Amino acid sequence: MNRDNYRSIGAIIGITLGVTVMFALSFGGLVAGFFFGAGGAVLGGMSGERIFAWRQTRGER
């Protein structure tokens, strides 16, 4: 898998976690969904890229 795949998978997981946290904190609505979802997507994408880089330095593919 390449860097883009890791970033996409991370973003999807981040959106899911962001919306889950939103509901767990009793927030609701379009604006809150946007902020939690967008924040989760960005953080998830960044995490996916870091995992990809970490695996490359270890010699894994």
Instruction: Name the residue ranges covered by the structural domains of the chain.
Output: 3-57
Q: Average pLDDT over the chain, rounded to whole?
A: 93
pLDDT tens-digit readout, 20-29: 999 999 998 9
Burial class (CB in 10 A: 0-12, 13-18, 19+), 30: exposed
pLDDT confidence of residue 61: 62
Share of residues in the chain with pLDDT > 90 (%):
90
pLDDT confidence of residue 43: 97
pLDDT confidence of residue 44: 97
Whose structure tokens read 């998978």? 9
Q: Is the pLDDT of residue 59 over 80?
A: no
